[in-house]
Chains A and B, each alone.
Chain A
Amino acid sequence: MMKLDEVIETLRQGKHVDEDTIYRLCDMVQELLMNESNVTHVDTPVTICGDIHGQLHDLLTLFEKSGGVEKNRYIFLGDFVDRGFYSLESFLLLVCYKLRYPDRIVLIRGNHETRQITKVYGFYDEVVRKYGNSNVWRYCCEVFDYLPLGAIVNNKVFCVHGGLSPDVLSVNEIRTIDRKKEVPHEGAMCDLLWSDPEDVDTWSLSPRGAGFLFGQNEVDKFLHTNNVELVARAHQLVMEGYKEMFDGGLVTVWSAPNYCYRCGNVAAVLRIDDDMTKDYTIFEAVQARDSGGNVIIPTKKPQMDYFL
């Protein structure tokens, strides 16, 4: 089996890692994740990042522009996979960083970290294309089940992928969820990963078919009850990279520039310093280059011999 630093280097180049190594990595990271609570406590300073969606080369840019995980703390708000062509490499890279610097990086679960969704939106297909079978996908899905549901920074900034839930008034209530399961179709665990903020007066039906829409009232109540200043979340594409709402009570952070290689948006990460000041770093999609300086053009791996 490869050493961790070698694996990291291989993944950064978007190259193939063998199935056995992946199995071991997934196994090891499960042990780490099991010791994390459903809502992980994190200290400042920390950089909060939104959806990545398999855009490996943009993830590398993200680290470059924000100082890198060797020297900085990070929280990733989920949705590491699907849509981009390097879902596996992106997710495994973050897993490796978690193994290498366990106290520096927190990964929480997004609504795409499930078997159902990844079967449809690209991760499953990507694995079958690259390995000929779906085992690696299964190993990763098992890891997804162990990801925490949220994080809290200095007890002041609540981080979650989607948003709030009518079943969760206090952050403490999240503790009593058994998170080792596929994200359900309803209930607190589902809402946290699927809800969206919107200009509504109260909890409303979400057009997504899961989670709820929630407005300023709900956010204010949540902030007040839990004595926090800010809800930081991702889940929705923002053309400018980040968007503050509700008098600064909530912010959406989106970290996949030029989403789907088409949308033309910029991306952002949010740094929170010790004095709780907020600092946004914006970055664009740049052309990926390999170690020889040649441009890497993102594409899917082609099929080999065929009989039919």
Chain B
Amino acid sequence: MPESSNMQHSPNDSKNLVYTDKKRVKVYVLENNEWKDTGTGFCQGVVEEQTDADLQFPKKQAYLLVVDEDADDQVLLKSRLERNIEYQRQEETLIVWKDLNGQDIALSFEESVGCDSLCEYICFVQKNIETRISLVAVRSTDDGIGSVHEIITGPVNLPSNEENQTEDSLLEALKILNENTSFDYLRNETIQFVINDHYLSILIKSFNQSERSKLYRNLLLLSNIIKTLILFNSKEIVEEMINEENFLSICGILEYDTEFPKSKLNHRQYLNDKEPKFKEMVPISDQSIKLMITQNFRLQFLKDVVLVRFLDDQSFTFISDLMLSYQNSIIDFLQEDGNNFINQVISMYTSEENSNITPDKRRDGIKLLHECVQLSQNLNSIEKTLFYKFLIKKGLFQVIQFAFNMETNNDVRILATHIIVGLIEHDIQLIQSVQNDEVSSLKDQNANIQSTDMSLLLILTKILLTDKSPGLREQSFQALVSLLDPEDYIVDDFQNHDDSIDTRIDNMLQIQNGKNRDEPDTDRNSERFQLAEYLQRFYKQVAPTLFHCFIDKSVNLHSYDQQLLIKLVKLLNLMIQGHEASISRRFILENGILIKLISLASNTYILQLRLAAVRCFKNVVFLNDDFYLRYLIGKNLFDPVFQVFKENLHEDNIANSTILDFLKSLNAELKVVEDEDRSLIGNKSSRNFLLLNKYICGRYGDLLQSANYVTFTQEMMDTYNEEMQRLPSISTTETSFDENDNTTLEVEV
């Protein structure tokens, strides 16, 4: 704040305005290439105003004034800020410049705060009094070599704002705009110019003229100018570009591209003819939201179609962020109950009165809900959960059920499954939460009423098993995978939602084999409890239908589509790996599912299916579960696996590699056992692999020995031979693992 100080009264009625407090400095001047200390004092920014009868405005002259600290009537420096002097701020505390006499001067401030203060003063002077001076901050670069000059204030080159632009003025404009992207100060000044001087309108006018007169060079220049303006990453500029008035013309300008000078894209034609329409299904009263929806679409069009080859990472991120802010607002709007938008959409499916709604409109509704879910993809996790819960509470599932039960158009049904998959993949507990609400409201009713989550599973099962559309079956399969994967229950921020069922199974294997399990806390306990209940219901109500073809003895699996069988095998794999054995094993063993499973390895099936069955089988083995291993050996279920091996014994192909991988892993387990003290094998599980090895080598030893192109098969045989020598009395068909094992499992023979 300038304080008026009447230090001096001169005849023409002048006064001095002091702009800063006194700041302590040392003054240096350059003489004979050396900086000479000319004294220490206090520096102030001072403006002398001289009013004159002849002058309309008072004449102002700005100075940097330093007075001696010991004698304040002694002036050490009075340097005028004038013409185009460049002031350099170096380090944090130096201001260095060359005055008009060629004299190099430096002010070294005691404190950087002091330097800040005088720099502000210089900026002030530049803006108001001497516009051609400049202040530049000089910093050394990160690698210590060279320096960066960043302009803090100074005169700014701006494009011409003439109504009539010529090729020259456009070329000049392009050059200037390119330069001005480099520093914040220039950037900000340019943005102000573009907005205040309505530069976009000027450009658009020039564009229309150039198009009419076929001035191609102008058109290319205009295109580059617009692109450069986008690189400014300015919300104001971009929003002006996508407003109702300008958007079409901007797209028009961008149809021309210097990379393809003889061609022209057709954005305007596309927008006009194909007319991607904003379908306002239910009226939206809030105009600003309607605007955002349109703007969101336009930005998407710019980002993905018009500018797709052009945007660099920064601008891409900038536009994405802008879209995100619109999307957040739209989602907020949807969730505000007062607006009733979602209510109206969903009531089309639930309310009796709405039976006159056309199927087309219902289809559109599902598409809209699908877009809601798509839109929310970029929200953070918590916001997403809130939004999905909101949709569910409003009745999303009723819409989904409608889609599955009533809708015949496949595309729409696929969208519905897409919605479900989206919800499930975000947080499976959302489905859970609906079920819990239902249960509490159905307290008095029959406990066998199917809850929403089981209904959902049954619907998905039905689609997987019977629907004609392979695409829909695929989607249902994915949904089932997500719904049956317990990882999504237990791990809180399981962000890494890899679609691949194979990876999920791998993950489970790691958890199963993990020796260190943390003591579960009470939250985990309740989650595990809920999960256990959910899975119990699944095995009781859904699994028998889903795996019907594996359970029913009269079924001939050869009459089934093999791709379907592959999917069932994968699901089985996931269940065996991921669900607690105490819940799943009974179902698996009681229904003889493993027998059917391994029968799929026979050469009457396609190879993909055979190997899928073998892989599932492998995973069962490496669960190292006593019951399973006993069962597999007792029923000689390894036979089909080694049949595959035999058929491909001397081939170098996937089938051969799959079995080799299995044997290699088994051998690796044996090595682990060897590390432990053999004589103290109290550990049941490590003994399991030894016994398994004994069974395999005893029964398939010839095959193993024939596979002499790898070493581990021989190692397995060696281990077997050692064991045989150690305990010759144990027959090779011994299958009991522990004589003290009193638990019995009712297993169908």
Contact = CB atoms under 8 A, between A and B. Distances in A.
A121 B474 CA distance: 23
Contacts of B655: 34
Contact of A300 (B308, B330, B474, B500): B308
The 8 closest A-B pairs by CB, nearest first: A37-B652, A178-B661, A307-B368, A176-B660, A182-B500, A135-B471, A261-B309, A295-B263
Contacts of A141: 500
Interface in B458-483: 470-471, 474-475, 478
B499 A302 contact: no
A308 B330 contact: yes
A305 B654 contact: no
B470 to A, nearest CB: 6
A115 B506 CA distance: 15
A85 B470 CA distance: 26
B260 interface: yes
A305 B277 contact: yes
Interface of A: 19-20, 23, 27, 30-31, 33-38, 85, 115-116, 119, 132-135, 138, 141, 145-146, 172, 175-182, 184, 261-262, 287, 294-295, 297-308
A302 B303 CA distance: 10
A192 B268 CA distance: 48
A115 B500 contact: yes
Contact of A306 (B279, B607, B658): B279
Nearest to A27: B563
B698 to A, nearest CB: 23
Nearest to B411: A132
B305 A299 contact: yes
B615 A306 contact: no
A182 B270 CA distance: 40
Interface of B: 257, 260, 262-263, 265, 270, 274, 276-279, 281, 293, 296-297, 300-301, 304-306, 308-309, 330, 364, 367-368, 371-372, 375, 411, 414-415, 418, 470-471, 474-475, 478, 498-500, 502-503, 506, 563, 606-608, 611, 615, 651-658, 660-662, 664, 709-710
Given A34-B607, A85-B308, A178-B615, A306 B661 contact: no
Contacts of B300: 303
A20 B615 CA distance: 28
Contact of B657 (A20, A38, A301, A305): A38
A180 B297 contact: no
Given A35-B653, A302-B270, A303-B301, A135 B475 contact: yes
B260 A287 contact: yes
Contacts of A33: 654
Contacts of A308: 293, 296, 330, 368, 371-372, 375
A134 B293 CA distance: 25
Nearest to A20: B470
Contacts of B611: 180
Contacts of B260: 287, 295, 297
Most buried by B among A19, A20, A34, A301: A34
A297 B371 contact: no
Contacts of B375: 308
A20 B472 CA distance: 12
Given A138-B474, A175-B657, A306 B297 contact: yes
Contact of B654 (A179, A184, A304): A179
Given A175-B656, A182-B500, A182-B502, 17 more contacts: A23-B470, A37-B657, A38-B652, A38-B657, A116-B498, A133-B411, A135-B474, A135-B475, A172-B710, A176-B710, A178-B658, A299-B309, A303-B301, A306-B277, A307-B364, A308-B296, A308-B368
